[in-house]
Amino acid sequence: MGGRLNKSIKDRQIYIYSSSHLTPTERVKFFYALKGRNGKPGILDTTQSVFFAKSVLSVLPNQSEEIEQFLKAWNCKFYVKKIKSSDKPTHALIRYSTTHMNATERVKFVYAVHGRGSSEGFLKDKEILAKTVLFVPIRRLAEIKNFLESWNCELLIEEVESSE
């Protein structure tokens, strides 16, 4: 488990956006424009960007203006985290999968992650970028990795330096 992401890409910007304001029809059109359809490339293809999760993109700095224009054209609110590979990482970018879990296990996992009622969850809101993408301080990496592995989650981990 605990695979590593490709470190050959040095500087990147992580875009966290919201498409919740779009109608269902607009959302379908948005994702077609984002990912492409019927052989027509989407903006991810033309900018060599990576779709991490439903609301998270990894973008090369020289393509950031085009991605920002795209998100603004769709009236999506977004924020950006600037990261780079480093020998002195400050954070870990973690992608994990829960597809192996049945519905009951997934509900228990969500309660463990987010909390329920008065009980606190394992992760802090600011550490969660999307349902399956985390951005955590490097000092918490071992603890979070152990937690996710205890749930048999497949992991992709990249240790990065955040410029924020």
CA–CA distance, 105 with 99 (Å, rounded to integer): 10
> In this structure, are 8 and 66 located in the same domain?
yes
**What does the pLDDT read at residue 2?**
46
CA–CA distance, 81 with 84 (Å, rounded to integer): 10
**What does the pLDDT read at residue 9?**
55
**What does the pLDDT read at residue 86?**
82
**What does the pLDDT read at residue 87?**
85
> In this structure, are 79 and 99 located in the same domain?
no
The pair of three-digit structure tokens given for residue 131, joined into one six-digit string: 């349902």
CA–CA distance, 163 with 10 (Å, rounded to integer): 13
User: Is 35 in contact with 44 (CB distance < 8 Å)?
Assistant: yes
What three-state secondary structure class fits 153? coil
**What does the pLDDT read at residue 7?**
46
What three-state secondary structure class fits 16? strand
**What does the pLDDT read at residue 160?**
93
> In this structure, are 110 and 47 located in the same domain?
no
The total number of structural domains in the chain stands at: 2
Which of 14, 48, 83 represents a domain boundary (last residue)?
83
User: Is 121 in contact with 113 (CB distance < 8 Å)?
Assistant: yes
The pair of three-digit structure tokens given for residue 106, joined into one six-digit string: 């997934």
**What does the pLDDT read at residue 163?**
80
What three-state secondary structure class fits 46? helix
For residue 114, the one-letter residue type is H
Find the domain containing 52 and state its range. Answer: 3-83
> In this structure, are 74 and 105 located in the same domain?
no
Ranges of the chain with pLDDT below 70: 1-9, 164
Which of 67, 83, 99 represents a domain boundary (last residue)?
83
Nearest to 9 by CA among 70, 47, 61: 61
**What does the pLDDT read at residue 157?**
93
What predicted TM-score, i.e. pTM, was given to this entire model?
0.83
**What does the pLDDT read at residue 102?**
96
**What does the pLDDT read at residue 85?**
84
Which of 41, 56, 83 represents a domain boundary (last residue)?
83
